[in-house]
Structure 1
Amino acid sequence: MAANRAVPGGLLGADYAVENGRYRIKRIYGGLNWNPDLRSPLTEPGLNVAEGDYLLAVDGRELRAPADNLFALFENKAGKFVELKVGPLPDGRGARTVRAVPIENELALRNRDWVEGNLKKVEKATGGRVAYVYVPNTSYQGFAYFKRYFYPQADKEAVIVDERFNGGGLIADYYIDHLRRPEISYWNMRHGADMKAPGASIQGPKVMLIDETAGSGGDLLPWMFRKFKIGPLVGKRTWGGLVGTLGFPVLMDGGYVTAPNLAIWTEDGWIVENEGVPPDVEVEQDPAAVAAGGDPQLERAIAIVMEELAKSPAKKPIRPPYPIRGNRK
C-alpha cells in the first residue's frame, strides 16, 4: 500500500477579505527579499501588487469567493511560477496578470511582522527611549535576532527583551553578558560625538517578557536574568523543561529511542525542570485584547520600564574641560 504523500501548498504572504464576491488582498506581509527565508512573493520587483487589489484568477482559473477555495489553487505551487490576475475592481476592469513564486511557509514573514510591530509600539510609547529586542530561541536564529535588534538600539536608555515563544537551543549566556555590561569610559573624538565604551551596552532599566510557551533554553534565559538581578520578569511562568535527551543515534530501520541524559543543578539543588521560571509580575495575555490589536504583557513591560526611568533617569555625562598639555609662561 502506497504511503500518503504530503502536498505542500503555496502561499503569497498575505491576508484576504471576502468582498463583492471576490478575494481582496487585505494585507501584504513585507519581508527581506534578499533573504530566502524572508521572501515576500507579492513585494518582489516588478509585481506592484498592492493592498486593496482583488485576486481574480490563478493560472487562468477564475476565482470567486467564497465558493472557490483560494488555497486549493495553490496546491503544489510553492517555489514555482504562478500567473496571478489582479486588479483594483471586482469586475476585472483594469486588471493585469503578474507572475509570482509562492512560498511554502509564511511563519517567518508573520513573525517578523509581529516583531517589527512590537518594536514600533515600544518606540512610540516610550518616545524612542527604550529598545525592544526579540529572541525566538537560544540557538542560531536567536543569536542572529539578538545581534540584529540589540546593536542598532544600543544608544537607548533602557531595554525590553522579549523571549515569549522561545524554542530554546543552547545556553544563552551571550545575551546575559551583553545585558550586564557596565559602562567603562567615554572617548572624545576629533570628529563627531563622544563615544561610549563598550559601545554595545545599555546601562538603564531592563525588563524581560516570558510566557508558558518558552522552554528549555527559553527557561534558562529568564532564570539567568533573575539570578544576576538584571531586572523584573513580566508575563507567565515558563514551560519548565531543562532535562535533555541528546546524542542518541538513529536505528537501522530509521526509528530512534531517547532517554534523559542531561539535567541542570546548582548549589541550591535541581532547578527549573517541571517548575519553570515564574514572573515577578504576572500578566495574562487576554485573547480579546490581543484580537483587538493589544498586547497586555508588552504594555505592562513598557509601563514598568518607564516607571524605572522616571525613578532613575539615565545620567548624561558631562565631558570635562580640555586639559592644557604644555607649559605657558
Structure 2
Amino acid sequence: NIYSYFEDLAGRQVTIRVSAKPDGKDAREYVVEPAGSEYGMRNQAWIERNRRLVDEKSGGTIGYLYLPDTYLGSATEFPRLYYAQTRKKGLVIDGRFNGGGLDPAVFLHRLNNDILAYWTRRYSHDQTDPAIATNAHMVCLTNKQAGSGGDMLPMEFQMMKMGPVIGTRTWGGLVGVSMWLGLIDGGGMSAPDYRIYDPEGRWIVENEGVTPDIEVDLDPVEMSKGVDAQLLKGIEVLMQKIKEDPRPWPEHDEFKVDNK
C-alpha cells in the first residue's frame, strides 16, 4: 500500500524521489507536504466536472455555482464562482450535500439582486447597475444529504420564487443549537434552543425536510457511470426556460450629438 509510507506525515514537509525507471536511475527529488485527506481535492474535482458538464451541455449559456454550506465554505466559493458568471442566461445553484451553518439569505439575496439600470462605456463592455447582478433563469439542486442551512437554502429559494428546486427531499433539521456548557473534565453538553416556524405560525421543515418542485433521485448504477440525473434535469429545465424567455441584453438608443 503506497499510502502506508506517508502515515503520520500529513502537514509535514517530506522529500520524495521520483523516477520513470524501476532501478531509480535519473530520479528527481521533490519536497512535498502530504494532505491529511483527499476529500477536498476530490470535492473540487467533482465541482469542476459539474461546471464543465453544464458549460458543454448548454453551449456556454448556463453557469454552475456550488454551495457546500451556508458558512465559510460558501463565503469563499460564492464570489469565486458567481461573479464570473453573472452574464450567463441560466444558473444552476447546486446545494446538494450542503452542510449548513448560518442563514443562506446572504447568498440568495445577492443572486436575486435585480438589475435596475445599465452603464455603457467608451472603451469597455456595458455593465449592470448594481455592478454584481444577473437576470439569469435559475434552478436549485438539493438532496437528502442537505440539512440545517442546507434545508433553508431550497426553502428560501422557493419562498423567493427564484426558480424550481430539483432533486430529493432534504434532511429536515432546522432545530438549532446556540449554547454550549463546558464541563470540568473537558467535555460539554448542549440542548436545542430554537426552531423555525412560518408567517402563519406553523412549525416547518424540522423532521420533514423541504420537498423539491421536481423530484429526481439518483440511480447508483448510473452514478457509477458518471451520470448525474439531477444535474442533467437542471440543465434541461433551464434550456427550456431560456428558449421560452431568452432575456437578451438590451440595446440602448443611439446617442445623438448636437454640434450646433
TM-score by length of 1: 0.75
Q: Describe how 1:237-256 pairs up with structure 2 within 5 A.
A: 237-256=169-188
Q: Which of 136, 149, 164 in structure 1 is aligned with 2:68?
A: 136
Q: Secondary structure at the match of 1:159?
A: strand
Whole-angstrom distance in 2 between the partners of 1:257 and 1:177: 35
1:283 and 2:205 matched: no
Alpha carbons 1:234, 1:282 under 8 Å: kept: yes
- State, as a whole percentage, how many aligned pairs show the same letter: 37
Q: 1:125, CA displacement in angstroms?
A: 0.9
Change (3 A) 1:153 1:81: same
Query: Which residue in the other structure is 2:246 paired with?
Result: 313
C-alpha spacing 1:193/1:82, structure 2 compared with 1 (3 Å): closer
Q: Deviations over 1:114-171 (max 9, x none)?
A: 1111111111111111110001000111121111110111111111100111000111
Offset of 1:96 from its aligned partner?
3.5
Which has the higher Rg, Structure 1 or Structure 2?
1
* Corresponding residue SS for 1:265: coil
Give the Cα separation in 1 of the matches to 2:198 and 2:214: 25
SS of the residue 1:270 aligns to: coil
Instruction: For residue 261 of structure 1, report the CA deviation from its aligned partner.
Output: 0.5
Verify: 1:234 aligned to 2:135, yes or no: no
Structure 2 gaps of 5+ residues are none
Residue in 1 aligned with 2:41? 109
The equivalent residue for 1:83 is 15
Return the structure number with greater helix share.
2
Shift of the alpha carbon at 1:70? Answer: 1.8
The residue type equivalent to 2:123 in the other structure is H
Partner residue of 1:173? 105
How many positions carry a matched residue from both structures?
259
How large is the Cα RMSD of the aligned pairs? 1.7
Query: Which fold has the larger relative contact order, with Cα–Cα distance below 8 Å and residues 6 or more apart in sequence?
Result: 2
Q: CA deviation at 1:99?
A: 3.1
The 5 A counterparts of 1:202-217 are: 202-217=134-149
Q: Please list every run of 5 or more consecutive structure 1 residues that lacks an aligned counterpart in the other structure.
A: 1-68
Contact 2:182–2:188, Cα closer than 8 Å, also in 1: yes
**In the alignment, structure 1 residue 274 sits paired with structure 2 residue 207:** yes
Q: Distance in 2 between matches of 1:78 and 1:202?
A: 42
Deviation of the 1:109 alpha carbon: 1.4
TM-score normalised by structure 2 residue count: 0.93
Residue 118, structure 1, aligned to residue 50, structure 2: yes
